[in-house]
Every structure is written in structure tokens, then in C-alpha cells.
Amino acid sequence: MSDDRTFVIIGASQAGGWVAQTLRNEGFEGKVILIGEEPYLPYERPPLSKAALLGEVTVDSTYFWQQEALDEANIEVRLNTRVTAIDRNAKEIEIKGGDRIAYDKLAITTGARVRKLPIEGADLPGVFYLRTMEDTLAIRDAVKDGATAMIVGGGWIGLECAATLTKLGCKSIVVEAADRLCGRAVTPEISDWMLKFHTGHGVDVRLSTGIEKFEGNGQLERAVLPGGDTIDCSIAVVGIGVIANVELAQEAGLEIDNGIVVDNCARTSDPDIVAAGDVTNHPNDLLGRRIRLESYENAQNQGITAGKAMLDKAEPYSEIPWFWSDQFDANLQMIGLPQDWDETATRGDEASNEFVTFYLKNGVIDGAISVNNPRDLRVGKRLMQGKKQVSAAELIDPDTKLQTLLKR
């Protein structure tokens, strides 16, 4: 009765962890080996720019599963272990140092790494990126009350970091190359709201600006702006996006196109290999196009999908993308990836920092973003899922109970 197969997972983070758990939850009795380069058990990344950076939570508390739970599930976790190659013919992987591990099925959940800032001085001590627990611990160590922190990039990570460092007593300066904040993710109206919100909390936001170079004598001392002006700063955090870790898959000859190409059940072009999380380019049937997502929910649910697919219990995965961010006292949440809406409807009051803006296309919700209003956003998600016909006027009207629109 015993199953002598070995299922290997490369990348011991959220997606990989969920693949492993799902194998067990679905009754797989063979060997499960979860391999990761980092020194920690799979942990949540969202706190890295929030509670963990503030020092409010311990490293352990960010683990998705404690060691005992992984032991109990008989998941063999190999940390500090980098996989260097996938040999699809031999069905083996190679780890740094040369050891090889045979697999019957393989999951690639290698996520993404930060994009580096290609300027002079970017390698000075004091210049940080923010993707891993090590990054967060290092930034925390370097932060001193009253320090000036230069944040390069006004996207989600940059803004969360600006908020957290401000809370820690730093003077946060955000430089953003585009003419508005979070330009790739939100509409100009929301960018404006973010600008007001951050400025109101004391963040110095400079749009359409870059950093020419960093300078310092063995340690970051100042940033030089394009015109030659300088700003003294002792730390800098760069958040200018990530690059999917596709190299292993690419070298093994799997199909790559802005991520590892998978189908709606997380299967790659090799029948014995699945992939999930930030690293995949997957079809989303609800949106009718292929996407690569960098989100908590996708890492979890596509990970679960991939685990099932490894057991030949494939179930199509398609969800309305959902993302959240916490900045100062604002909880932002977004659904969908609206592209070409013809109307917007804002319910609540932007000035009071409690509202939700819906994007409508032909009378159907195509996406929404909420600030301190998670509940209305969730109703919006159901309305979007059900493709319910709604009007901007009724969405805006505070007397409309949104739930009643679901009954249509």
C-alpha cells in the first residue's frame, strides 16, 4: 500500500509550502521534500514591510507552519539549500554542491527576487532592498530614530516602507520616477489620494524624480539627485519591482513568457512539473487573459491547485485577483486588474480615508479599490464574480445596502 514516489518542491515559501501541505491534505503518502534557499521555514512576506519591520512580531510568528506541524505532516524541509539545475530526462534536480535528488513529480515555486538599482553607490552599506526576512532584520538594525530614509520607488513596497519607517521615527523621502504613486496598479485618482495621504503623514514624496547616485565613505551618506542636489541620508530602501525566478525552468527548457507558463491547473509544459505563485504566468478565465500576479492569495491558492495537479486531481483555478496593503492607518484592498473601464463610482468619502471606488465597464464591476472598507470591497467582489448589472448611482448611494444588489 505504501507509496514509494518522491515529490520535490523547489522554493520553500508560501506557494511551495501550500503545495506540500496540499499533498498531505489530499492523502499523498509518498515522500515530500520542500527545498529552499532561505534559512527560515516558509514565512509570510506581507509583515516584512509592516509589523515585522516595526518589530511588533517575532520571526517565528511569521511562519505559516511551525516545525512541529511540518514534522507531523511528514514534510521534509531542507533549508539553506539552493537548487542549481533540473534534469528533466533523468528526472532529477541538482543542489549546490552537486548532490542530486530524484523526483517523480516536481513543483517549481521559486517566486521572485528584487530588481536591483543600476546606479553608482547602490552597493554601499545602508542601501537595502526588501524581499526577505533577512532584509527586514537588516533594515531594522540600521534604523535610527531621526534618521533620514530615502525610499526609491513609490509602489506598494516603497509606500509601506515609507509608512513604517516614519512610524519608527525616520524622516521618509520617497522618490518615484513616474508622475504618480503606484502608477502600475491604481488609477490617477487613487494615486492622488495616496499622495495626499502620505504627505499628510509627513512623508516627503517627490514624483518624476530619480536618484543619480548614492555616495558615502564606506557607508551611505547621501543621495545625489539628477540636477546635482544632494540629500543626506543614512539608509535607503529600494523598491522598484521584482523579477520572476524563471532561470531554473528556463534552462530546463520549460516554456517561459513573463514567468513560467502554466495552464489553469498550474501545469507546465512538462507533465511531471507544476509551478505556482509569483513565478507563474497563468490564464485567468474570469479576466479572459494571462497574468502574472505577485500576491498572497495567488501564492496560496495556486499552490493548492498545483498540489492537486501533482496528484492528478487537477481543478481549474481562476479567481478575481485580490491584494491588500497597509500604510499608516489605512488598509487598502484591491480586486481585479481593471484596464478599460467606462465609469467609476466612489462610495464613502475620500477625505475621511474610508471609501471604495468601483470601476465599471458596461454596467458591470471590473475592479475596485477600498480604503478602510474591506466589507464593501468583498460585496463588490461577489458582484463582479456574478457579473451583476449595477449603476454607478446606486453604488454611490449610502442608502443602498450593497448586499441587496447581489440578489439580482
Partner 1 sequence: MSEIEYHAVAKTDEIMEEDVKGVFVGDEEIAVFNVKGEYFATHGICTHENVGLADGFVEGDLIECPLHSACFEIKTGKAVNPPAEIDLKIYPVKVEGDTIYVGIEK
Ligand X SMILES: Cc1cc2nc3c(=O)[nH]c(=O)nc-3n(C[C@H](O)[C@H](O)[C@H](O)COP(=O)(O)OP(=O)(O)OC[C@H]3O[C@@H](n4cnc5c(N)ncnc54)[C@H](O)[C@@H]3O)c2cc1C
What is the maximum span of the chain, computed from C-alpha positions, in angstroms?
72
Question: Which residue of 304, 360, 368, 371 would you call a contact of partner 1, by CB under 8 A?
Answer: 304
Kindly state the cell numbers that stand for 64.
Answer: 505559516
| 8 A C-beta contact, residue 214 and residue 124 | yes
CA-atom Rg of the chain in angstroms? 22
| 8 A C-beta contact, residue 281 and residue 257 | yes
Least distance CB 159 / ligand X (angstroms): 11
- Which chain residues interact with ligand X by CB under 6 A? 10-16, 35-38, 45-46, 48-49, 82-83, 109-112, 130-131, 157, 245, 248, 277-279, 294-297, 299, 323-325
3-state secondary structure of 231: strand
Cβ burial 256-278 (10 Å sphere, 16+ → b, else e)? beebbbbebbbbbebeebbbbbb
Scanning 168-319, the segments in alpha helix (DSSP H) are 188-200, 247-251, 296-310
Torsions phi, psi of 352, nearest 5?
Answer: -90, 5
Residue 268 binding: pick among partner 1, ligand X, none (C-beta 5-8 Å cut-off by kind): none
Does 313 participate in binding partner 1 (rule CB under 8 A)? Answer: no
Beta bridge partners of 289: 284
Question: Which residue of 104, 213, 296, 391 would you call a contact of partner 1, by CB under 8 A?
Answer: 296
Residue numbers 191-250 binding partner 1 by CB under 8 A: none
Torsions phi, psi of 188, nearest 5?
Answer: -55, -35
Residue 375 binding: pick among partner 1, ligand X, none (C-beta 5-8 Å cut-off by kind): partner 1
Kindly state the cell numbers that stand for 267.
Answer: 501545469
Residue numbers 375-404 binding partner 1 by CB under 8 A: 375, 378-379, 382, 401, 403
Q: Which amino acid is at 301?
A: N
Least distance CB 332 / ligand X (angstroms): 9
Q: Which amino acid is at 332?
A: L
Does 297 participate in binding partner 1 (rule CB under 8 A)? Answer: yes
Give the residue with the Cβ less far from partner 1, 103 or 358: 358
Give the residue with the Cβ less far from partner 1, 61 or 258: 61
Beta bridge partners of 124: none
Residue numbers 70-109 binding partner 1 by CB under 8 A: none
Tell the residue number behind the cell numbers 524624480, with chain if given.
209
Only segment of 31-39, 247-255, 293-301, 385-393 that touches partner 1 (CB under 8 A):
293-301
Cα 184 to Cα 98: distance, rounded to the nearest angstrom = 41
Least distance CB 76 / ligand X (angstroms): 14
Report the half-sphere exposure of 170 (CA within 13 A, side-chain side).
29
Give the residue with the Cβ less far from ligand X, 332 or 379: 332
Give the residue with the Cβ less far from partner 1, 234 or 298: 298
Cα 233 to Cα 221: distance, rounded to the nearest angstrom = 5
| 8 A C-beta contact, residue 244 and residue 261 | no
Least distance CB 194 / ligand X (angstroms): 15
Least distance CB 302 / partner 1 (angstroms): 12
Least distance CB 375 / partner 1 (angstroms): 5
Give the residue with the Cβ less far from ligand X, 261 or 299: 299
Does 131 participate in binding partner 1 (rule CB under 8 A)? Answer: no
Least distance CB 337 / partner 1 (angstroms): 17
Question: Which residue of 30, 64, 242, 314 would you call a contact of partner 1, by CB under 8 A?
Answer: 64
Residue numbers 134-173 binding partner 1 by CB under 8 A: none
| 8 A C-beta contact, residue 134 and residue 123 | no
Least distance CB 386 / partner 1 (angstroms): 12
Residue 193 binding: pick among partner 1, ligand X, none (C-beta 5-8 Å cut-off by kind): none
How many CB atoms sit inside 10 A of residue 327's CB?
23
Give the residue with the Cβ less far from ligand X, 49 or 191: 49
Cα 162 to Cα 222: distance, rounded to the nearest angstrom = 18
Least distance CB 36 / partner 1 (angstroms): 19
Q: Residue 14: which of 36, 31, 39 has the closest Cα? A: 36
Residues lying near partner 1 in the complex (CB under 8 A): 18, 64, 296-297, 300, 304, 322, 324, 331, 374-375, 378-379, 382, 401, 403
